[in-house]
């Protein structure tokens, strides 16, 4: 009996050693570099490492170029990774269209259903893909704009009309603004170089400027900040990372936390063998308020003391 027990223990130790020695390759596709998306990537990889997973990450960033975004997928197929991490809608769509035999975890995607990634949020359509949505709580964003600018009547919004997620967000913004008795003025762009002119076009047409989680705009948000400072036009963002870059305020998801949760999903697929088709789309409901007092002053507004007191982060 002792011999049998020792044999079982030995087998367990061998299995444990084999697991520890197992390494995985994760190929990452990311449409553009900016702090929110970078935070998702870091959080995902950090969580896998925290769980003891030996991961080699091949990171590909399209720098906002649609053609490069598609070419990256061909590179990833050649890498034959164990899992694809697709950060933001454009990369996720390109991956879903071409990759059918490698698990895909998308994250930072606003509306995965309208983007064609999943049939529904329960992921009942099966397939090799699942992930996380960062759909913005637009009612809370409109309320924040009203709190920062109590006299607001018209909200200006800058977005890339070529990003499906941004179109969904702007439609939701219009819906929530109408409920609050506000109107919305749009300024669309095709690439990040157009952000400055788009912001200028809103001067005189809007009482506040709102930047949704639009990858193209956020990657160049400093251009919008410059215009808003010059014209005393308050800029409110949909992601907290933009506040440290010059926006007045944001109540939003913590994208690093979204990365951690995405890492949990990746772990279940890589290590536990769970099929993506058995995993519904997940959300992160933990919202943070960040405010920038210096940016507020430069854009002609004074933040309410109550807002400052309840903020998780205050930039002086």
Task: Give the pLDDT confidence of 194-233 residue by residue, as tens digits.
Answer: 999 999 999 999 999 999 999 999 999 999 999 999 999 9
Give the global pTM: 0.76
The model's confidence at residue 6, banded by pLDDT at 50, 70 and 90, is very low
Average pLDDT over residues 92-102: 97
Instruction: Taking each helix axis as running N to C, give the angle between helix 89-98 and helix 164-179, from 0 to 180 degrees, rounded to the nearest 10.
Output: 130
Asked whether residue 1 carries a pLDDT value surpassing 70, the answer given is no
Average pLDDT over residues 105-112: 95
Strand partners for 183:
154
8's CB contacts (< 8 A; 6+ apart) are: none
- Under CATH, which number does the domain 138-253+288-315 receive? 3.40.50.2300
CA 88-94-97 angle, 5° bins: 130
Query: Do 117 and 143 contact (CB within 8 A), yes or no?
Result: no
pLDDT of residue 19: 44
pLDDT of residue 66: 93
Asked whether residue 15 carries a pLDDT value surpassing 70, the answer given is no
Tell me the C-alpha distance between 57 and 103, whole Å. Answer: 15
Lowest mean pLDDT among 17-31, 63-77, 127-141, 272-286: 17-31
Measured over the CA atoms of residue 272, residue 277, residue 280 and residue 284, the dihedral's sign is positive
The model's confidence at residue 112, banded by pLDDT at 50, 70 and 90, is very high
pLDDT of residue 281: 96
- Under CATH, which number does the domain 23-133+254-285 receive? 3.40.50.2300
The model's confidence at residue 125, banded by pLDDT at 50, 70 and 90, is confident
Tell me the C-alpha distance between 114 and 130, whole Å. Answer: 14
Query: Do 138 and 182 contact (CB within 8 A), yes or no?
Result: no
The model's confidence at residue 140, banded by pLDDT at 50, 70 and 90, is very high
CATH 3.40.50.2300-classified regions of the chain: 23-133+254-285, 138-253+288-315
Helices (H), the chain: 2-21, 35-50, 66-79, 89-98, 138-148, 164-179, 195-201, 215-218, 221-230, 255-270, 293-298, 305-310
| Tokens at 253, concatenated | 């998801």
Task: Give the pLDDT confidence of 252-307 residue by residue, as tens digits.
Answer: 888 999 999 999 999 999 999 999 999 999 998 778 999 999 999 999 999 999 99
Grouping H, G, I as helix, E, B as strand and the rest as coil, residue 214 is: coil
The model's confidence at residue 163, banded by pLDDT at 50, 70 and 90, is confident
Half-sphere exposure of 224 (CA within 13 A, CB side): 34
Grouping H, G, I as helix, E, B as strand and the rest as coil, residue 185 is: strand
Grouping H, G, I as helix, E, B as strand and the rest as coil, residue 179 is: helix
CA-CA distances (angstroms) from residue 302 to 15, 266, 280?
61, 43, 43
pLDDT of residue 20: 43
């Amino acid at each position: 009996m002792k011999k049998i027990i020792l044999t079982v223990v030995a087998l367990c130790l061998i299995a444990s050693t084999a697991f520890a020695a197992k390494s995985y390759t994760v190929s990452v596709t990311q449409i553009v570099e900016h702090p929110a998306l970078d935070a998702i990537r870091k959080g995902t990889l950090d969580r896998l490492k925290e769980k003891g997973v030996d991961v080699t990450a091949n990171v590909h960033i399209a720098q906002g170029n649609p053609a490069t975004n598609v070419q990256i997928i061909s590179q990833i197929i050649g890498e034959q990774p164990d899992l694809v991490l697709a950060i933001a809608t454009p990369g996720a769509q390109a991956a879903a269209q071409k990759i059918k035999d490698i698990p895909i975890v998308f994250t930072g995607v606003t509306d995965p259903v309208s983007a064609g990634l999943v049939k529904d949020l329960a992921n009942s359509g099966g397939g090799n893909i699942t992930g996380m949505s960062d759909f913005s709580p637009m009612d809370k964003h409109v309320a924040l704009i009203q709190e920062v600018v109590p006299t607001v009547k018209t909200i200006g919004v800058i977005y890339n009309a070529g990003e499906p997620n941004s179109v969904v967000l702007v439609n939701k913004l219009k819906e929530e603004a109408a409920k609050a008795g506000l109107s919305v003025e749009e300024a669309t762009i095709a690439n990040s170089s157009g952000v400055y002119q788009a912001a200028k076009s809103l001067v005189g047409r809007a009482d506040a400027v709102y930047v949704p989680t639009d990858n193209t705009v956020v990657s160049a948000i400093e251009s919008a900040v410059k215009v808003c400072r010059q014209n005393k036009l308050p800029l409110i963002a949909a992601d907290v990372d933009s506040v440290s870059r010059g926006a007045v305020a944001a109540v939003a998801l913590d994208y690093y936390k979204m990365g951690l949760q995405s890492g949990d999903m990746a772990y279940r697929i890589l290590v536990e063998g769970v099929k993506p088709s058995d995993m519904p789309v997940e959300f992160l409901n933990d919202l943070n308020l960040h405010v920038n007092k210096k940016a507020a002053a430069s854009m002609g507004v004074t933040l309410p003391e109550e807002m400052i007191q309840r903020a998780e982060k205050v930039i002086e």
